[in-house]
Structure formats: structure tokens, C-alpha cells
């Protein structure tokens, strides 16, 4: 196997693993296991989870404020194991890119950026624990995971793994695609803020919120980014009005995002001669419908764990599709 093929296979593996890490992170957070291990990078001073009676007793004595709950601790540690493996894989990809820097079409900038983000992600993972699941930190950690996945996907695009079409001009869609990407990124940020503030179930029912179209809400309190140190944010600290404000902002953002991405997909489908862009437009429509359905199901069914995790995973895939769309309308392949 050539060095190029090895590089591509590693990037493909890393992209799949990054998506899995995003979903594992969501599973850990949504199952209230974000503080399953009160220290970092180990768990109660162990590489694994304390299991014997003596180990558990010592751990409980060392961390009296956080008694051992093995099922939560294992969720946290499995997420860390996968994230650590992803980090090592990205380090390997960066080394290979550096060795092929004079011949590789992808360049060195993107792999180096990936490595830097992974290092910062590790710090955010540590601060998630040491700062007691502070919403700003946890949201940043979530966005970092999405960013790693999308940059790996972009690396595959630049490597020529995905068909872009030959000699096709699509510059007319650039402004719309750029705007759609920006709106989607804001919506993902709002989704992270909603989740990390435990506001996903602040409103029940759809399309109303607890039977009201516009309930009493406190936006100024709901969007305070920094509340100081030493506060345990597990299960949230916002009152009902603030949580409703966060939730309803996410809903409004979802409507704006849906309309924007729908327009983008329909514009792409109108280019009948551009088979590549039409395929990605259909993929965008499919992902959009699935994501909206999952979001509504989260509200109407009371945030089932499987549905909520899938909402995160499909969100990452939707972002990758929109990034691909932007890549396609900016890159014109030569015949």
C-alpha cells in the first residue's frame, strides 16, 4: 500500500472515530456521567475504575464529595479512552503529513491545526471535570469535537477522496452556502448551550412550550456565559424562566436553520446538469429532515437518551454535508 493510501485510510479511520467520540461525549453528558470521575486524566487515581472493595473504600475516602458510581465512571473513562486514541491517531496523521509536506496535496496547515485543537480539547476535557461541568467549558468541548470531525472530513475532501465534479462552475451559490454554514454553526452552539444548561426539557410539547406560544422567559439570566468558579453546574443552576429562554432560542434558531438549509438544498437541486451537487443537495435534505424529526422527538418524548445522542451525531453529519457543499461551490476541478 502506498504512503498516500495509508494516509487516507488513517484519516478515514480518524473521521469515523471522531464522530464516535462526539456521540460518546453526548452519551456521557446526557446520562449525567460527566463527573463520573472527579479527577483527570485517571479515575479516582486509577487508569481504570476502582472495582475491589478496598479500592472503592480508598476512593470514597479520597473524594468524599463524589462517591464512586462505577456505571458512571466507566462511561466517562470509555469516552476518555476513545478520545485519547483519536488524539494519537491525529498525531500520527500530522507526522505523516509533515514527512510528505513537499508532495502531499493536503499541505501541512490542516493537520497541524487538527493537532492543536486536539491538545486544546484535552485541556477542555480536564477543565470539564475540574470546573464542575461549567456550561461554557462543556459547550466549547462539544464544539471542539465537532470541529475535529469536520476538519478530518475536510482533509478527505482536499485529498481528492470525494468526487467534486469536473469543470463545473458553481460560484453563484457561494454567498448562500456561506450564510447557511454560519447559521448552522450558531445553531450548534445554541444546541450545546441548551444541553449543558439542562434546558432541553424546559419546554414540553410542540410547537408550543408547556401549552404557551411565548412563555415567561429570562434571556439575560439564560445567557450569562461566566458565573465564576467553585459552582457545581451538574443538573444546572438556571431557574425555570432562564431555561425556557435558552430552550426557545434554540427552537427559533432551529426554524431559521431549517429554512436556510432547505433553500440551499433546493437551489442545489435546480442545477440539473450538476450531478455531484444534486447528490449532496439530496443528502442535505435527508439529513435536515432526520435532524428536525429527532429534535421534535426529544421534546415530545422527554429527551430519550438514544434520540438525544442521535441528535448530536446527525448534527455533526449535517455540518459535514454543509461544509462539503461549501467546498464544492468554491472548488472548480480542472478537466
Q: Which residue ranges make up each domain of the chain?
A: 1-162, 168-335
Q: Residue 222's pLDDT is what? A: 97
Tell me phi and psi for residue 283, to 5 degrees.
-65, -40
Please, are residues 87 and 145 in contact by the beta-carbon 8 Å criterion? Answer: no
Q: Cα–Cα distance between 303 and 235 in angstroms, integer?
A: 14
Catalytic residue among 76, 163, 212, 221: 76
- Between the alpha carbon of residue 149 and those of residues 22, 82, 113, 179, 320, the distances in Å are 8, 14, 12, 21, 8
Q: Cα–Cα distance between 88 and 115 in angstroms, integer?
A: 9
Q: Cα–Cα distance between 17 and 125 in angstroms, integer?
A: 17
Query: What is the value of pTM for the model shown?
Result: 0.94
Nearest to 185 by CA among 122, 253, 134: 253
Catalytic site includes residue 61: no
* DSSP label of 233: -
Q: What is the mean pLDDT of each run of 10 residues along the chain (335 residues)?
A: 85 97 96 95 94 95 94 97 97 91 74 96 95 96 97 92 69 90 98 97 95 97 93 95 98 98 95 88 97 97 97 98 92 48
Burial class (CB in 10 A: 0-12, 13-18, 19+), 257: buried
Amino acid at each position: 500500500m502506498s504512503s498516500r493510501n495509508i494516509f487516507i485510510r488513517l484519516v478515514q479511520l480518524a473521521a469515523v472515530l471522531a464522530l464516535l467520540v462526539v456521540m460518546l461525549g453526548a452519551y456521557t453528558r446526557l446520562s449525567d456521567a460527566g463527573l463520573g470521575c472527579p479527577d483527570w486524566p485517571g479515575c479516582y487515581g486509577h487508569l481504570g475504575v476502582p472495582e475491589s472493595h478496598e479500592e472503592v473504600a480508598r476512593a470514597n475516602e479520597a473524594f468524599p464529595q463524589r462517591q464512586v458510581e462505577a456505571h458512571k465512571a466507566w462511561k466517562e473513562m470509555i469516552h476518555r479512552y476513545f478520545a485519547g486514541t483519536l488524539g494519537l491517531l491525529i498525531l500520527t496523521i500530522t507526522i505523516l503529513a509533515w514527512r510528505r509536506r513537499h508532495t502531499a496535496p493536503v499541505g501541512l496547515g490542516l493537520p497541524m491545526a487538527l493537532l492543536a485543537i486536539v491538545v486544546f480539547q484535552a485541556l477542555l476535557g480536564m477543565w470539564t471535570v475540574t470546573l464542575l461541568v461549567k456550561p461554557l467549558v462543556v459547550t466549547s468541548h462539544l464544539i471542539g469535537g465537532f470541529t475535529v470531525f469536520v476538519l478530518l472530513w475536510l482533509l478527505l475532501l482536499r485529498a481528492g477522496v470525494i468526487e467534486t465534479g469536473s469543470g463545473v462552475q458553481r460560484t453563484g451559490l457561494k454567498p448562500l452556502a456561506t450564510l447557511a454554514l454560519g447559521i448552522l454553526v450558531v445553531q450548534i452552539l445554541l444546541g450545546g448551550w441548551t444541553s449543558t444548561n439542562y434546558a432541553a426539557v424546559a419546554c414540553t410539547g410542540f410547537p408550543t412550550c408547556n401549552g404557551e406560544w411565548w412563555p415567561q422567559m429570562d434571556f439575560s439570566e439564560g445567557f450569562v456565559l461566566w458565573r465564576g468558579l467553585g459552582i457545581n453546574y451538574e443538573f444546572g443552576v438556571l431557574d425555570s424562566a432562564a431555561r425556557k429562554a435558552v430552550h426557545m432560542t434554540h427552537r427559533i434558531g432551529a426554524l431559521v436553520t431549517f429554512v436556510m438549509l432547505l433553500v440551499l438544498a433546493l437551489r442545489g437541486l435546480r442545477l440539473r446538469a450538476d450531478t455531484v451537487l444534486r447528490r449532496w443537495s439530496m443528502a442535505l435534505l435527508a439529513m435536515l429532515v432526520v435532524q428536525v424529526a429527532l429534535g421534535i422527538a426529544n421534546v415530545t418524548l422527554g429527551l430519550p437518551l438514544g434520540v438525544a445522542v442521535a441528535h448530536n451525531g446527525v448534527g455533526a453529519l449535517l455540518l459535514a454535508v454543509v461544509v462539503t457543499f461549501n467546498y464544492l461551490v468554491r472548488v472548480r476541478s480542472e478537466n
